[in-house]
Every structure is written in structure tokens, then in C-alpha cells.
Amino acid sequence: MDDLSAISIIEEACGYKLSKEQKTCIVNHSKKSTLINACAGSGKTSVMIFSIIFDALTNRLMPDQVLCMTFSKKAQKEMEQRYLELRARIVKMHPSIPVGYWQQPRFNTFEAFFYSRLRRLSTYSTASVCTDKTKYYQDIIRFIPNNLRNPDVTKKEDLNNIFKMYDLLISKGYSIDGISVNLKNPDVVKLLENKDKKSLSTLISAISKYNLDENFTSRYLKAVKRYQELKAMDNVIDFNDMKVKLMQALLGDHKDEIINSVKRYQEVFIDEFQDIDYLQWHIIQKLFHKIIHTNLIVVGDDDQSIYSFRGSNPYFIVNFADKLVPDAQIFNLSTNYRTDGKILKSSLPMIERNQYRLHKLIRPNNPASGLCYGDYSTKRGFQDQRFFKKLFFESRNTKKTIAVLVRYNFQKNLIADILTESHITYNVAGQIESLQESKVYQVYLRIMTAFFDNDIENYIRSAKWMGFNKFKKFLTEFRKEYYDNSNDDLENFLSSSLSMFDTKVLKEEPSSDLLLTLIEESLEILDYVKLQKKRKDHESYLVNYFDRINELLSDGLNYYCRNHIISKPQLNVVKDHLTFKMYYYHSFLDFINDEKDRMKQFNALRHKTSNGRVQLLTIHQAKGMEFDEVFLYGETEDSIASGWITLNYDFPSNMTYKAFKAKVDSSLQTYLSLANIMVYCNMPNTGEIFDGFRSKDPTIINDTLRKCYYEIMNISANVEEERRILYVAMTRAKEMLCINFAENAPSPLLDEIDQSYVRGMSHLDAKNLI
């Protein structure tokens, strides 16, 4: 069958005319390896399915010779279902064509395909999959000596941090096994450049986002090695192992055995190619080395590369036809058929600010349609905000598909509380806690209750968050050794503890001043609460009470934020929410009772199957989905500081060190000016930067400048990913988008969207967005 006839049959079966770009991809994809650079809503999945059907109709290739790989089970099932539906329609419309006898292509997730290759080896033929490493935590905890522990975090928190690092090392390709350093990775070479030691400890310090204690690497190695032993004993492998062990097999004696197992596939499609990581790409290279320059078709959108925390990197899609497969062809799918014109056009100026991206001229299919709104958050009741009024109205009065999207998983807790309180049913992706169940919320509630009830137990449980583990240890030991009145109240307990500060041992303790200050401030709060209980006028009592609690907790909470034990955005959400509650209530008891009622409501809804039309998702969970109406909540500067935007303009993430140094040398009078800019932009490790630039040693100065380069490139890459995340969120909407942002601290990325298309935002004015 000729090409035109095949296209005509496909158009008849799918029920619409294909665009010129779509036809070009379908007809020409098999001539040599191809990148299909497909914008959001451009019909890329359809193009892949049509391409497989087209090859079969024109006798180029039969479907059972095709492998389609993607990243999620949902996407795999959707591709498979759409293929079967299209084939069935062609069979019905053209019974003379032997379509019904075609065998099916193989549709697989990366994990499933890698797992199936591994199981061909006798070592892994009976291995099952471990989907939850936390079941090994208790055993691993016993394996780590007490003298290596970090007293400021719980054992579970410590293991969570260890395995986040383990996942990052493997997904980024910094380590092939999570233990050794992969010096073949150019990124690792750059990270360890000018480092005296090329060790795992040095690498971990270089990529960590926070200051690690001196024993972290020792604990890390013990935990990972024990984890590997436990998996081997249970004959299980995890998702990292599917990559790691397959790569090891391809580099070892089993290379031919595994490569022979994929010989049947003459054409390979990779969907969502922007999400691929280092190890996945290198495995694909080795598995399909015979067809990688002729019959590898990768489909994706670099503007939707948002999974860096999982190891994905836009490098692979941006450089596919330049460095990875130099003779590959590129086709664009540049029409968005999903998102109405005004919504799409508002997002384009922002995403086009990213310099590290593939060029494509994105255009809407319906240029003049679409509604876009903006509304800011204040301390007033949520029900009074236009964002929520609009959400409540639409959910009760329309039959449209609706999604509430949030940047962070914990923000779903807040939205769930608001929807529950307003009797709006919703569906939520993944597990969800109420806001009241979050760790930060519990910290505030416990300490406020301790002062209100004059309760020793709750106070000691909260001590870690005020003065770290040393304060909790001091209170616990004082109570055990010196305080014999276990039924007494908190005020008497704290007053009695003051006597300890007259002893020689505590006077010589470096932290004694901090402990004394915390106790004195706590006694002042107790006096304040006691006084307020006697007064009849409670107008601002809880507001002032909450302010005092904030001051007491500030050092501890800031420390735990810096060390990523709690997140700064989550802390801010909880503080804002409680601040509003304190304005609303005049009685602490009323507040507590209402919180209990709200929890009962939430639990009743949580255990009930909901058929609500409102979908509650993070932006990452919503990727690949579409909704008639999208409500985007909480666009604040928590994700990205305004100074970072300026850094990204001047130093885009793909800038070479040579270009960076030339720009700094030509633009700034001294390197100390660069250090001052980094301070202004709230960047980490600025103390070390100042010390390095003040040195007289040229080697130290050059090393410091290189350190600045890596820090700034990291920030710049974060800015570009945040743009992509916001772009993904905005392009989930088909007909209407409503954006909620902070009144005093809106996301600086909102300055970059075309606000002339957004009702409620004045054009490019961050201070007067509404």
C-alpha cells in the first residue's frame, strides 16, 4: 500500500484530518533515527500509534517487531488501548486488509522491560520485586552503631535521607551501584575537579543540598550494604537494581545473552524521552546498539522535563540529534490542540526564557478562546477568596472536569481540609494526610497545648524543636535525676530546672546560655497564658500567643529547614494557616475542639470512595493529564527566589565555565562583588566563598571561582525547571485556568507570563498583581 492510501485509512479510522506536521512524522520516522519534539497537547501518543499502523499498512515493519517504552503503567496501558481501538476500527472499515492477523507491539514501562531482561539470567530468574524499602528499616537501624548517629534527627528520618541520596547517586549515574564513584560520568569528573579526594564522601558532600554531619557517609555505607544483604537474603530486587544489575550484566559475561533477547525488535519508540535518566539511556545504547542510528524514535518535550529529583535531565533530549545520535533527524509537533489560546499564550513568554531548550514555535489550535484568572491569598477566610469561591461554584454547578493542582505534596493536605470543610467531594492521587497530621502542624499544636495545659509531657516531647536534641536531653535527665514531683505542672518544673544553671558542670557547657534562654522565654509564655485566662477580652490573645510560640521555635525550625528535615514551603503553609486560625478564634479550647471535629470529617471522607469530579493532584502527578478547568494553588516565592531569576538571565544553566569566567571578569570589578551577589540571592556557603576570594593564593581563588560556577549553574538549572513545572501546570487546562498566588510573596515566575491574558493581574507588576 502506498503512503497516501495508508494515511487516508488512518484518518478515516481516527475520525479527523492529520496536520502536515503529524503526517511528516508518521511517513518519515522510519528513514533513520528520529527525535519528535512534541509540545504539550500536540497528540504525540496518537502519532506514535499511527506510525506503527502506518509501517504495517505500507509493509515496512510488522507491529510485533516494534517495542514501545514509557515511564508509567498508566501511559503504557493508554498506548496499548489506543492501538487496539484503532486496529479494531480499521478491521471493521476495511475487512479486506489483514489487520486482524497482526500481532501486537510490545508496550512496556522501563522497569518492566529491564526486569524481564534480568529474569532471563539464572541469578535473577526467581527474583521478585521489592517496592518498599522501609520494611527493612528496623533491621538496618540495628546495624548502625550509636556512636555514628545524628542526634538531631530520628532514625527513620536519617534513613530517609540516606536512601534519597542512594536513589540520587544511581539515577544521576554518579554511582553505578550506590557505593563506588562513577568517574566515567563527565558530571562526576566536573564535580570532583580540584578535589583532593575522589571518594564517595567527597561526592556526597558536593551534591548534597545541605550540610551533612561528619558521620553521614559512614552511616550511608553501612545502611546501603546492609540493605543489599537483606535483599539478597529475600531474593528481591528494587527498581534501582533493575537498572544497576542489568547494566552490570551488559558490561560483563552476560552481554551477548541479553542483547540476543531483544533481536526481534527492529524499531524502538521511547515515549516521554525528556524523563530518561543516565543509566536508562546507557542501557538503551547497549541493548539496541545495532539500530540506535537507524530505528530509534524518541518522542518528548524538553519543556516538560520536570523530574530532576528522579534523575532525569533535559540534556538527553536537547542533545539527542547533536551528541547522542549525531545523524538523527528532528521533527516538530508544535500545535497545542488541548489548551485554549489565551491560556497557552500567557505561558509562552515564561517558558521561552529558558535558554537551554530546543527551538520550536508553539501555537494554539484555538487562538482566541480560553479564560485565565488570578487571585491572591490573604489571611482572610479561604471561603472569602475568589479562587475558592470560583472553585466551589464550578464544582457544584458544572459538569466539567476540574483539577486543583499544587506544587508540593503537602499542599494537598491544606486543600483537602478546605474542600472537606466546604463539603466538596474530591478524588486524590496517592495517600494524603490532613494538614493537622503533618509533622510541622503537630509540633505547633503540641507546644501550644503544653503551655495552655501547663503540661510537662508535651513540653519535653517538643523540646527538640526549640533547642535541638541537647535541650530535650537536659530536660529528660533533670526530670529523672533531680525532679521527683512527677504530677506537678510545667511552670514548677521549669522554675526548678533553673537551679541547675548555678552548677559548675552546666556553667561550663557551651550551650547553657541557649538552654537558659529557652526556659526563661517558656516561663514568660506561661505567665502570659495564665494572665489571658483571667481576662474577659480575648480579642488578640491567640494572635499574640502564636507570635510568641513562633519566636520560641524559630531557631529550631530554621535549623531543620536548612537541613531538609522539614521543608520551608510546608512550614510557611502551616504558619499562614495557623495565623489565620488565631485571628478567627478567641478561645484556644474552641480552636482545639474544632480541629478534632475537622479530623473526624476528614477521616470519614478519607475512608469513603469518592466520586467527586474535583481531582486533587500535585503538578508532577498531573503531567500527561488534561482537564476542562484547572485551579493552580499556591504560587509563592518558596520555590524560587527573585534573585535567582536574575542569576539565570545572566548565567543560563548551559553556560560553560570559560564563558562564565569571561563574563565575571568583564562585568565585575572584583570577585568579592560576585560573593556579594550570591549573598543577595540567598545562596548557600557564602562564608566559604568570601574566605576563598580574600585569599592571596591564586589556586584557592580559582578553586573558589569554580565553586561559584557550580553553585550558580545549580541555581540556574533549578530556575529553568521551575519554569517548566509552571508551564506543565498551565498547559493541563483546556478551557479555564485560575491561578492563586501569595499576596506578599508571589512567585517571581508570574512576572514572566503574559499577564495581559490573565484577568486579575496587572501587566508585569509583581507588587500589584491584582
C-alpha cell read off for 475: 530536660
Distances (CA, A) of 696 to 691, 699, 700, 701, 709: 10, 9, 8, 8, 20
The cell for 479 is 526530670
| Cα(326)–Cα(318) distance, integer angstroms | 12
3 state DSSP class of 37: strand
- Residue 240: Cβ-neighbour burial (10 angstroms; 0-12, 13-18, 19+): buried
**Residue 594, class by beta-carbon neighbours within 10 Å (0-12 exposed, 13-18 middle, 19+ buried)?**
middle
Which set of grid coordinates corresponds to residue 705? Answer: 571561582
Of 412, 402, 416, 408, which Cα lies nearest the Cα of 732? 402
Burial of 573 (0-12, 13-18, 19+ CB in 10 A): buried
Going from the C-alpha of 93 to that of each of 49, 58, 81, the distances in angstroms are 18, 17, 18
C-alpha cell at 7: 494515511
d(CA 660, CA 468) in angstroms, rounded, equals 41
Q: Encode 186-208: b = buried (16+ Cβ within 10 Å), e = exposed.
A: eebeebbeeeeeeebbebbebee
The string of DSSP codes covering 69-132 is: EES-HHHHHHHHHHHHHHHHHHHHH-TTSGGGGPPPPEEEEHHHHHHHHHTTSGGGTT-EE---
Report DSSP state, residue 136: G
Q: What is the DSSP letter of 323?
A: I
Please measure the distance between the N-terminal and C-terminal CA atoms of the chain and give it in whole angstroms: 59
Q: What would the grid cell of residue 47 be? A: 502519532
Q: Edge-to-edge strands of the sheet including 267-270?
A: 106-109, 66-70, 267-270, 296-300, 34-38, 329-333
Q: In sequence order, what are the residues at sequence separation of 6 or more whose Cβ sits closer than 8 angstroms to the Cβ of residue 190?
A: 710
Which of 724, 746, 516 lies closest to 635 in space, CA to CA? Answer: 746
635's enclosing H/E stretch is strand 627-635
Please state the residue numbers annotated as binding site for ATP. Answer: 38-45
Q: Which positions make up the binding site?
A: 38-45
Give the three cell numbers for residue 688. 566559604
For residues 629 and 733, the answer to whether their CB atoms sit within 8 Å is yes
CA neighbor of 606 nearest in space, from 441, 395, 432, 396:
432
Nearest residue to 632 via CA among 273, 282, 390, 293: 390
The residue with cell 540567598 is 682
Nearest Cα residue to 737 out of 654, 661, 663, 631: 631
**Residue corresponding to grid cell 560573593:** 675
* Enclosing H/E stretch for 672: helix 671-680
